[in-house]
Structure 1
Amino acid sequence: MKAMILAAGKGERMRPLTLHTPKPLVPVAGQPLIEYHLRALAAAGVTEVVINHAWLGQQIEDHLGDGSQFGLSIRYSAEGEPLETGGGIFKALPLLGDAPFILVNGDVWTDFDFSRLRAPSKALAHLVLVDNPGHHGRGDFRLQGERVIDGDDTPGTLTFSGVSVLDPALFTGCQAGAFKLAPLLRAAMAQGQVSGEHHQGHWVDVGTLERLAEVERLIGERA
């Protein structure tokens, strides 16, 4: 499968680090955050990656180039204006093709093994869920066997990790412009079209300086 990394956010909660550096290039334990994803995807056998960008996006292209240094072929989807997650993916679909693809939020860090991911069978999406972090205690969705359903604030609700496999058919009927991904996923869930799994390893949403320090601690413990 091809993969897409979402890298268009401004990272406003991580200022001043992100005033002059795009969030995916912020160093974590001496390595830009996005490189952890690229190396993990390459190790899982992925060869083609699409990266969308907006804020300081040229820096991302200049740093990563064509991806050959990671054993990858990288193509870019530049956004002149913020398109949110759904709109950004929709704009990049011509680069991703007609087959299901891996989607990764560029601002998370995880030890999840991407080689475990497979195209969803008879579903439009497959989501990797994690235990709720302290800053998102209500969670997002629940697992009912291998099926994902809306959380509804009930016990057992988990957090969407930002790692998934999406079928381009999920975006059927969408139009260019800014829109969110979550309503598309919830609509598919209501039709029983979303599967999922629970990753119980490390995962951090690197949205603040405090969580950046947490990732550096975790990486240090693994060294």
Structure 2
Amino acid sequence: MARRIVVSVGVACVVLAFCVVAGAEKKAKAPTQVTGKITAVDAAAKAITIKGRRAEVKVSVAEKTRITKLVPAKAADIAEKQMVHVMGKVAKDKKSVEARLITILPEGEKPRGKGISAEGVLGTVTKAGESLTLKTVDDEEITVTLTKEPKPTLVAKPAEGAFADLKEGVNVRAETAAAEGGGVRATRVTILLPGMSGGKAKGKAKAE
């Protein structure tokens, strides 16, 4: 009987230790990307609060954090080997898309999402010109048609930004990681154009 009690206590200790470790790991895990609107700016602490789809997250912004902002661009700014996100009407056969908005992603930004989805097309430009050819992140090829009438295709490109550009009400996309001592830190922050969220056109926006 005593032996059974000792064994039971030992098992309970192992289970408890596992739960404590698992709980600590879960607590230390930070989101890898936060997209949404800035609701607060703490200039003294160099931090911003972003309201995403699920919750508000306070993110620290260090000197090493790369800050870029999307600005209006032209179709001529789109070049081969650039990673772009295209919003528009995708054909039923998924071989072409009539672009409403093309966003040139900042160099080095890791693409997230499917190559072709209801939220748009994500891929690398393999041929530029009056129409584009993309190789999606799912390794599929698709032709992108740019329109002029009645509404021309909008194009946005990245430019250098600064902490001063991070203001309340601005939509941003932040690549994040766990900060030392707890909390969340930003490795990169992209300031989106007005009316955009997550690099997507207003009306299709999803804050993550």
TM-score, with length taken from structure 2: 0.23
Structure with more relative contact order (C-alpha pairs < 8 Å, separation 6 or more):
2
TM-score, with length taken from structure 1: 0.22
Q: Which has the larger radius of gyration?
A: 2
